[in-house]
Amino acid sequence: MKGRPVRTLVAQPQVGVCCIVVWFITFLAGLLLVAYGLIRALRSRKPDLWMANGGMIAALGFIGFSRWPEAAIPAGMDQQSAAFMGAWWGGWLAAVWASYQLVWSLRALTWPSVQGTLTQSEAVFMGINNSTTIGPRGSTKHWWKVAYTYAVDGVNYSGTNKALDTDDQDSNFSGVSKKVAEHPPGSTIRVYHHPRDPQLACIDRGWFNGRWLAPAMYAVVLFWVAGLE
């Protein structure tokens, strides 16, 4: 009588190891997004939110795993010291980026302006507000969608940017409707443009925005974590 075949047991990877790999990949993906945003910013001379988003993902990946790969730790340094060192350098990188964004926004206050013509001005429904961040919960969210034309040194341009930061959303229809009534299609509007790249323009150049506030907050948190050592 033939015996039953002997099966060779293959050791399965531990769940903890898989989690470490997932978090480390998340950390690397965040760094890649930061690099991608930096390239976009340098090419367009316009602050890019990909860097802030990548920094957030990298931070989540950084704090998500408790043990770094040995190859990523400098010789003679333990896991905890390496984590605090990473937080310290990450804080400096976030601080440098926040400073660049702030200087960029302040310099935009000196941009020259020309008179433009609105070719589009309408209220666009964006959905129902499920939080209290930008208005009462359950209120409607609307966006003032604009397009305009303008000329600089005899060259015609067109644009759709309202602000240098992400375009704002109003929590109610009446707020956007008021803007549409004040700025109907065909009316004139002041357009601010980059002095060396007139195609980069906006109609609101407010300096207080999330492009430098977000990385500044990242820097504060990372410096605080590094100070816990």
Read off the tokens for 202.
């906006």
Query: What torsion do the CA atoms of 34, 37, 41, 46 make, to the nearest 10 degrees?
Result: -110
C-alpha 181: how far from its chain's center?
31
| Predicted confidence (pLDDT) per residue in 40-67, tens digit | 777 766 656 777 778 777 777 776 655 6
| Predicted confidence (pLDDT) per residue in 26-38, tens digit | 878 888 888 888 8
List, in order, residues 6 or more apart from 187 with CB less than 8 Å away.
Answer: 117, 118, 121
| Predicted confidence (pLDDT) per residue in 84-111, tens digit | 777 788 888 889 888 988 888 888 899 9
Read off the tokens for 83.
């984590």
pTM assigned to the model: 0.63
List, in order, residues 6 or more apart from 92 with CB less than 8 Å away.
Answer: 219
Edge-to-edge strand list for the sheet holding 188-193? 155-159, 140-152, 113-128, 188-193, 201-202
List, in order, residues 6 or more apart from 145 with CB less than 8 Å away.
Answer: 120, 121, 122, 123, 124, 160
Instruction: List 156's β-bridge partners, or say none.
Output: 151
Using CA atoms, how far apart are residues 195 and 206, in angstroms rounded to an integer? 17
Residue 157 has pLDDT above 70, yes or no: yes
| In the chain, where the domains are located | 15-109, 112-204
Best CA proximity match to 158, nearest among 98, 203, 218: 203
Residue 170 has pLDDT above 80, yes or no: no
Helices 210-226 and 49-64 meet at what angle, rounded to 10? 20
Please give the CATH topology (third level) of the domain spanning 112-204: OB fold (Dihydrolipoamide Acetyltransferase, E2P) (2.40.50)
Residue 121 buriedness (CB in 10 A; 0-12 / 13-18 / 19+):
buried
CA atoms within 13 A on the CB side of 175: 14
